[in-house]
Copies of this chain bind each other. A is one copy, B any other.
Amino acid sequence: MEKQLKRGTLEMVLLKLLSGREMYGYELVTAFQRRGNGKFEIKDGTLYPVLYRLEKAGYVEPRWVTQERGVPRKYYRVTTLGQEEMNRLVGDWRHFVAAVDALLEEETDERDQ
């Protein structure tokens, strides 16, 4: 089920994390592993396509950083457009959660009207 729930929240959560500070892909994967305590993980095969979508939409901007040692890292930062999109997504999210919770808390025997 978690797999399905991620659809629709992944971009929002990613924008949120990147709005804190610029991060690179592998860092995001490990950040999710650590914070999620096993739940809310993300695989790199999932992450990179999402970052491309966000970049293509103008929500994030990449920046290559060559290390003295090691493989170059691609840091992403959120654009102002991305900030607006994030706020919109968070609004939608809260709205959706409220609607579902309302359904879940209804009396079980109610009829139409």
Q: Which residues of A contact B (CB under 8 A)?
A: 1-5, 7-9, 12-13, 16-17, 19-21, 31, 34-36, 39-40, 89-90, 92-93, 95-97, 99-100, 103-104, 106-112
Q: How many copies does the complex hold?
A: 2
Instruction: Report the separation of the CA atoms of residues A34 and B103 in the bound assembly, to the nearest whole angstrom.
Output: 12
Asked whether A96 and B5 contact (CB < 8 A) given A21-B111, A90-B104, the answer is yes
Which chain B residues lie closer than 8 Å to A112 at the CB level?
A: 31, 34
Instruction: Report the separation of the CA atoms of residues A3 and B96 in the bound assembly, to the nearest whole angstrom.
Output: 11
Residue of B nearest to A96 (CB): B5
Asked whether A103 and B7 contact (CB < 8 A) given A108-B20, A109-B20, the answer is no
Query: Nearest Cβ distance between residue A63 and chain B, in whole angstroms?
Result: 18
Instruction: Report the separation of the CA atoms of residues A99 and B1 in the bound assembly, to the nearest whole angstrom.
Output: 14
A99 touches B7 (CB 8 A): no
Query: Nearest Cβ distance between residue A90 and chain B, in whole angstroms?
Result: 6
